[in-house]
Amino acid sequence: MKRLLALFLALPLAALSQEMVGQLGSRDALLVLHALQQPDGSWRVTGEYVVFPTLQRRFLEGERSPELGLTSLKEGSTPILFGHDPTGELRGTWRGGVFKGMRYGPGGQERERFEFSQEFPSMAGYSATVRCQAQDGRYSASLDFSAESGKVGSFEWRSSVQPSGHSCQLADLRQQPFDGGLRLAAGECRVTLREVGGVVKIAAEGCSAHCGSQAYLEPMLVERRGGCRLLRPEAR
C-alpha cells in the first residue's frame, strides 16, 4: 500500500501544452512548451524554439513555479540536455499565455530579451494563391490553395514517402471559425494556418485516416512570394 501511495504521489497532476509566437531579441521565433504539473504544484517543462528565417532550433528543459509562473529553462542544441553543454538559458515568467524575460548566455551573461504569446496574428485579411512543392530526402509534398480576405476557397495538400510510395491527400476540407489564424477540418482531421516570422505555417493534426500506413504530413512554410519549404529546423 505504501508503495502504491508513493507512486500515486509521484505522478504528475496535469499537463499543459502551448504554441507561442514572439521575439527573441530582434528575431522572430516560434516557441512550443509542454508542462507536467508535479505533486508540489510546480511544473516540469520541456520544449523548443525555432528562429526565423534561419530555422535555428534550440531545445528547452526546466521548471515553472506553482503560483507566480517564474520559469527557468536551460537550452541546448540536442533534445537531451543532460551531459551536454548548454547554449543558454531563458528566465522569466510564464502565465496568462505569455512567456517573457531575458535570455542568458552559457556563462550567465545577459544576451537578449524575449516575449512570446499564444495570441497569433489575425489572418482575417489573408489573401493568396499558392501552388508549390517541397522535397527533402525520401519525403515530398505539394500545396495548392487559394484564399481571399481570410476565406479559403480551395485547398489540397498531398505528400508521398519513398520507396514505399505511400501517400497522403487532403481535400474537401471545410473552414471553421478560428482566432489567430485559419482552420480547415474534415472529421477529426484539422489543418491550421498561422502567421509567424513573415511566413505562414501550415500544420495538420489527426489526419492519419487520409494517409497510407507509412505516410505523413510534415508542417510547411509558405513564403510571401508563394514558394514553400518544409519546416525542418536545424540544431546548430
Q: Digits of tens for pLDDT over the chain (236 positions)? A: 444 444 444 455 789 899 999 999 999 999 999 999 999 999 999 999 999 989 999 999 999 999 889 999 999 988 877 778 889 999 999 999 999 999 999 989 999 999 999 999 999 999 999 999 999 999 999 999 999 999 999 999 999 999 999 999 999 999 999 999 999 999 999 999 999 988 999 999 999 999 999 999 999 999 988 889 998 865 54
Q: What is the per-residue DSSP string for 100-155?
A: EEEEE-TTS-EEEEEEEES-PPP-TT--EEEEEEEEETTEEEEEEEEEETTEEEEE
**Structural domain includes residue 178:** yes
Taking the alpha carbons at both ends of the chain, their separation in whole angstroms is 49
Query: In terms of domains, do 187 and 113 share one?
Result: no
Show the cell assigned to 119.
Answer: 495570441
**Structural domain includes residue 214:** yes
Query: In terms of domains, do 69 and 90 share one?
Result: yes
Domain count, the chain: 2
Average pLDDT across the chain, whole number: 91
**Structural domain includes residue 86:** yes
Domain that holds residue 86: 2-117
**Structural domain includes residue 206:** yes
**Structural domain includes residue 123:** no
Query: In terms of domains, do 213 and 144 share one?
Result: yes
